[in-house]
Amino acid sequence: MSIAPLDDPAYEPKHPPVGGRIPDVVAKWGPRSQLRWFRRFRDQLTAYWDSYDYYSETEHHRGGCCDSCMEDAAAGYEDLPDVCCCYALRDEKQGQR
């Protein structure tokens, strides 16, 4: 089974953070690629970014999950199938998925 390059620790990425910032090219990628990029480089980001511009936590919606859903997950409640939190439900209703 092949893994995505950003999931391979031996892969030397072409677009690492520059000065702790997200390169512009990341915004052009799909949700899964953006999510892999954030998982790989989250610790190297020093500059603030508007997380609502990126799929930084999940491929179901841009931005982080809401506090209520994060608390539910920490308490052991399972997510709805194919939806991570109420932000995803809101985006789905608005057709922004």
What local confidence, expressed as pLDDT, does residue 48 receive? 62
Give me the domain span that covers residue 86.
65-97
Segment 7-44, tens digit of pLDDT: 888 888 899 998 899 999 999 999 999 999 999 998 89
- pLDDT for 10 equals 86
Q: Are 12 and 35 in the same domain?
A: yes
Residues 72 and 92 placed together within one structural domain of the fold = yes
Average pLDDT over every residue of 66-84: 70
Q: What is the pLDDT of residue 34?
A: 94
| pLDDT of 97 above 50 | no
3-state secondary structure the chain: CCCCHHHCCCCCCCCCCECCECCHHHHHCCHHHHHHHHHHHHHHCCCCCCHHHCCCCCCCCCCCCCHHHHHHHHCCCCCCCCCCCHHHHHHHHCCCC
Position 88 scores a pLDDT of 67
What amino acid is encoded at 17 in this protein?
Answer: P
Whether the full predicted model's pTM is greater than 0.75, yes or no, is no
Judge if 42 and 11 occupy the same domain. yes
Per-residue pLDDT at 30: 95
- How much is the pLDDT for 76? 76
69 lies in the same domain as 41: no
